[in-house]
Amino acid sequence: MLEISTFGGFSVRVDGKPLKGMGSNKAEALLVYLMLERRQHTRSELATLLWPESTEQHAAASLRVLLTILRKNLGDYLEISRDSAGIKPHASAYLDVNDLEEKLAGGEIEQALHLYQGDFLQGFQVQNSIEFEHWLQLQQER
């Protein structure tokens, strides 16, 4: 099972073990984005999200590298095609944000408060990615 914690920072566990070696904040940012925005995204959309000021070719090449890293570490949970990428629809994956929202919607306030360990992706930054930073700010406000 893939478990992602985003409150108060960022961590990833696979089958209960911490995942190390993704190598970049942009790979982690892409993973969180795909988990929270649970649908297939075009490669062009993802490249623009993370490299908005780069040329289309440079952004596409950089995205290929990140997708290779994610596939290597989390291939069982990802659906990556030539044109798009996303989390597999029926992947066994947990995201603390979704759990918190479900608990709040169900009136389980105490359990929701227990999940909250700090702001969403507190202290997390992605260089030269204005689009992602804007998305991050919206999620933090939400």
Q: What is the pLDDT of residue 20?
A: 81
C-alpha closest to that of 73 among 9, 140, 15: 15
Over the chain (142 residues), the average pLDDT of each successive run of 10 is 93 92 87 94 96 94 95 94 95 95 95 92 88 92 86
Which pLDDT score, from 0 to 100, does residue 22 have? 78
Question: Please, are residues 124 and 9 in contact by the beta-carbon 8 Å criterion?
Answer: yes
What does pTM read for this prediction?
Answer: 0.91
What pLDDT, on the 0 to 100 scale, is given for residue 45?
Answer: 96
Encoding tokens for residue 82? 């030539």
